[in-house]
Structure 1
Amino acid sequence: MPNSIPQHEQDLFKQAVLQHITTRLTSEDWEAFRYHWCMVNQRMDPEEDPNPELTPDQLVNETLTSMRNEVPHLLKRLGKQIEVVGEASGQSIYFAQRAGYYFWSPQPDGGLMLDVNLCFPSYPCGW
């Protein structure tokens, strides 16, 4: 993909997200996001069997996406529900707790951003 985020920066983001999931999310939080994913997915695509047993590593690898940098917009829109959970390449990695949504960009404005949605592929529950 042209203008993509370099692999080593993607790896930094994924490592920070995995560390947050495994050390800071309670098992109840993790299960709630997986339950939400299963319930919404069954309504969205009843033919597909949900897999709530994905490990955090599997989920992060499956749900990592790249899109136009929306970090400034998301910070404004989601406001106080966002916490900083790490840093990569000098930029904060954000987590919207109610939504189960991680996002980060190596550039403050413009470029691309990476995100991970714990409720993938449905919209996060706080959206």
Structure 2
Amino acid sequence: MAVDERLKAIDDFLDGLTSNDVEKMPFADDIVLVSPIDPDHPLVGKHAAVDFLKTKVFPKIPVRKAEVERHVIDGDCVATLWKATFAPAGRHEVVVPIFDFFRITDGKIAELRPYFDPKPLKEAVAA
């Protein structure tokens, strides 16, 4: 797989994230998503990942901007360092640095493990 196909999958994911559009996200049917919001319960399967985004992320802590700092590529794995600007409903925007681990298979995201401190988001939603 060419480098641009891996990065395209990530760009499409971030575009879907900032536009609240899961249809843009190239998830594999058997994706594994481990979220810092609920690290003890990995999500398995496209349906579970989409449901999580539609019910836990988009309505409560939507991402309005994604600024990629860099990607590190190793085979089918890509590590992406970026900043997310979250816009909790009725609250001030919160900028959170994120480090995402992606495994891309056949142009689809087969594994996604984001790493970030969820505390600023929890505080913004609770305020």
Q: Report the TM-score when normalising by structure 2.
A: 0.30
Structure with the largest fraction of strand = 2
Q: Report the TM-score when normalising by structure 1.
A: 0.30
